[in-house]
Amino acid sequence: MKPRITLITLGVDDLERAVRFYRDGLGLPTQGIVGTEFENGAVAFFELQAGLQLALWPRASLADDSGLPSGAPSSTDFCLAHNVASREEVDAVMAEAGAAGGVIVKPAQETFWGGYAGYFKDPDQHLWEVAWNPQLQTAE
């Protein structure tokens, strides 16, 4: 397997609410919900960066397609990270997420590793870290 990820799919409880959070609240570009003509096909895609997309798909559809039972979501199963270019940008993104309906679970603060970071959960309890790492260059 080549070390490449092209699509991250998040299972959501309410697709329209999730699209509003990511599109209207965080400003991620999307064509909206597509695939509604298919049973369990409704999904929304968001272009993140060259070669990487975020998909929002109802949890029930993901469970049906995978053949796995739907379980209780846990915010600590995994975390998506959004690295930015400055402390100020961390604060701005955290404020944007909170204003969009995200829950700030750890306000941005100095980290033990010399950076600055905070955590928020989206409306479906997915955990996001917003971080500035002085050791990393962020691509625009």
What is the tens place of the pLDDT at every residue in 13-34? 999 999 999 999 999 999 999 9
Q: What residues does each domain of the chain span?
A: 7-66, 79-132
At 71 the pLDDT is 85
Contact present, 115 and 85 (Cβ < 8 Å): no
At 27 the pLDDT is 97
Q: Which of 1, 8, 5 is nearest to 128 (CA)?
A: 8
pTM score, whole prediction: 0.87
CATH of 79-132, one of 3.10.180.10, 3.30.1540.10, 3.50.50.60, 3.40.50.1980: 3.10.180.10
b/e for 62-85, b at 16 or more Cβ within 10 A? beeeeeeeeeeeebeeeeeebbbe
Query: Does 7-66 match 79-132 in CATH topology?
Result: yes
At the topology level, CATH places domain 7-66 in 2,3-Dihydroxybiphenyl 1,2-Dioxygenase; domain 1 (3.10.180)
Structure token digits, residue 37: 């003509």
Residues of the chain with pLDDT under 70: 139-140
b/e for 37-47, b at 16 or more Cβ within 10 A? eeeeebbbbbe
Going across the sheet that includes 52-58, the strands are 7-12, 52-58, 43-49, 30-34
